[in-house]
Amino acid sequence: MKVGIILGDQLSLSLPTLQALDKKRDRLVMAEVPAEATYVGHHKQKIAFIFSAMRHFAADLRESGWQLDYFAYGEHDHGSLPEVLGPLCEQAEELVVTHCGEYRLQQQINEQWPEQLSCPVTCLEDSRFLCSPAFFQRWASGKKQLRMEFFYREMRRHTGLLMEGDAPVGGQWNFDASNRKAYKGDVPLPADLSFPRDAIDEQVLALVEQHFPDHIGNLTDFRWGTTAAQAQQALAHFIEQRLPHFGDFQDAMVTGEDTLFHSLLSPYLNIGLLDPLVVCQAAEQAYWEGQAPLNAVEGFIRQILGWREYVRGIYWLLMPDYAGENRLNNQRPLPGYYWSGHTRMHCMSEALRNTLDHAYAHHIQRLMVTGNFALLLGVLPEAICQWYLEVYADAFDWVELPNTLGMVMHADGGYLGSKPYAASGSYINRMSDYCKHCQYNVKTASDDDSCPFNSLYWHFIHRHRGQFQNNHRMRMIYRNLDRMDPAKVNAMLTRAEQLLADPEAL
């Protein structure tokens, strides 16, 4: 008999572990263990989402004829996966596992499990992604910089998505310039999708409240689907009601509107309930059928086929050294309002409220609000990376770390992005209504009530002149800085120094 273990982000019937085993003679095991649930302080909704999805997937496996041992949290004494597997492996000829999504755990599987367990351990490549680590390594070989745009074009050719022969549909690869409209209310917003809760959901929600009372967030408004069927409903809802306007407004932000036209599909993709190729094909089909415009469909596919596969490739190419990168030498702690949400900066308050209430924030809230502020403030990359890993339902190390450390914090020296995504309050003002509701003045940078983003932006540009003044994408910024009246520059820097002296007061 062989034993196959299925991890919490491997809830796919196409999982290589399942393909390698025989349901008539082999056994499966799934386990909720403290070592994985608490190695960082995961958001309560993230834990509930994964545990409930695991339990529903286990029920599906049993219904299809698999023999499965399930270890529910609080109902066993095992603290880690090897402790769960130990007794089972004493009777097994082999343990089969699919390559996991985190370097930390994968190193344990590779180096510790063979010594801790009494049967051989076979680790299979995860075939559920569109780009294997070997494919990415071949593409990256010999390149000094790995630009996502060129990787994305290679993946378009590789998959045939939105292609007409060798040419991209519409005559261009990227419609990002058509994805930057602010939302003014001229298009009705779709209703939020919610799902009925079954006994498994209710049981898990009660369990999380009981066992993880001190973890961030709340379970008051738990909206996530927890079954494969519900994940398919979420996909259909997005394609029909959100995708047609997703392209125009994917960078927009609106007070009190937490999802706008975004898909909210990344949690389902990242735990295996949705297949990335199927999702991309569904969006592509909407374009061919005239249900969604090209700028929306291309922009959405780029997020999955481009960014998602790209950051995974970088993760497995560069770990573990990548996690320690800090090229800007940032050392500041993360302010307390990242956990409480209590700040007078309205944009930050809105993004943090969404995060705490729903274990979710869309990519512009993450990149250009909470992330941008951490960059301008000079937060230690490890601190902001851990926060992102904790608070979002879709956060797994392979996707969170490159996005945060590389794209948000520019801590890798430009390996992932050619310039830092630093921006003043004017960007937020252009893409949202946040500044209209804020006590800070987005039009100034040196006054006592000036938008902190403005003052900190110019301080960031000033203090990192040595790193960025020769960057061809930032030369104009430094020319603008040099044209400013010196007294104005000094006033802005003085205001920024005051903010940096007590960022908790903002």
Which pTM was predicted?
0.95
Mean local confidence (pLDDT), 483-501? 95
Specify the pLDDT at position 177: 77
The one-letter amino acid at 32: E
According to the model, what pLDDT value does residue 145 have? 80
Residues 6+ apart with CB under 8 A from 451: 424, 425, 435, 438, 440, 441, 442, 444, 445
The vertex-407 CA angle with 387 and 50, nearest 5°, equals 40
Give the integer Cα–Cα distance in Å for 49 and 393. 7
Note whether 108 and 231 are same-domain residues: no
- Does residue 161 register a pLDDT over 80? yes
Question: 16 and 88 share a domain?
Answer: yes
In a domain, 252, yes or no: yes
Tell me, yes or no, whether 363 and 485 share the same domain.
Answer: yes
pLDDT at 416: 87
Q: Write out the two tokens for 94.
A: 């082999």
pLDDT score recorded for residue 175: 85
What does the pLDDT read at residue 337? 97
Q: Is the pLDDT of residue 179 over 80?
A: no
Helix (H, G, I), strand (E, B) or coil at 14: coil
- Report the alpha-carbon distance of residue 25 to residue 194 in Å, rounded: 39
- Which pLDDT belongs to residue 186? 87
Query: Would strands 94-98 and 163-164 be described as parallel, antiparallel, or unpaired?
Result: unpaired
Q: Tens digits of per-residue pLDDT, 299-346? A: 999 999 999 999 999 999 999 999 999 999 999 999 999 999 999 999
Q: What is the DSSP letter of 192?
A: P
Structural domain count of the chain:
3
The answer to whether position 328 is within a domain reads: no
Residue 385 sits in which domain range?
Answer: 337-505
- Specify the pairing of strand 67-71 against strand 27-31: parallel
- Rounded average pLDDT over 464-473: 93
CA 178 to chain centre: 23
Contact yes or no for 96/20 (Cβ under 8 A): yes
In a domain, 418, yes or no: yes
Whether residues 438 and 421 fall in one domain: yes
Q: What percent of the chain is modeled with pLDDT above 70? A: 100
DSSP per-residue string spanning 32-48: --HHHHSSS---HHHHH
Does one domain contain both 267 and 148? yes
pLDDT above 90: residue 374:
yes
Q: What is the mean pLDDT of the chain?
A: 95
Q: Is the pLDDT of residue 163 over 90?
A: yes
* pLDDT single digits (tens) 36-78: 999 999 999 999 999 999 999 999 999 999 999 999 999 999 9
Identify the pLDDT of residue 382.
97
Q: Does 1 have pLDDT greater than 90?
A: yes
Helix axes 148-159, 309-318, angle to 10 degrees: 120
- Write the DSSP string, 240-263: IIIHHHHHHHTT-BBTTBS-TT--
253: β partners: 432
For residue 146, what pLDDT is reported? 87
Same domain, yes or no, for 137 and 97?
no
Percent of the chain with pLDDT over 90: 95
Backbone phi, psi, residue 67, to 5°: -85, 120
pLDDT digits (tens, 9 = 90+) for 208-260: 999 999 999 999 999 999 999 999 999 999 999 999 999 999 999 999 999 99
The answer to whether residue 496 sits within a structural domain is yes
Does a structural domain hold residue 91?
Answer: yes
Residues 265 and 137 in one domain: yes
Task: Report residue 138 as tokens.
Answer: 């071949």
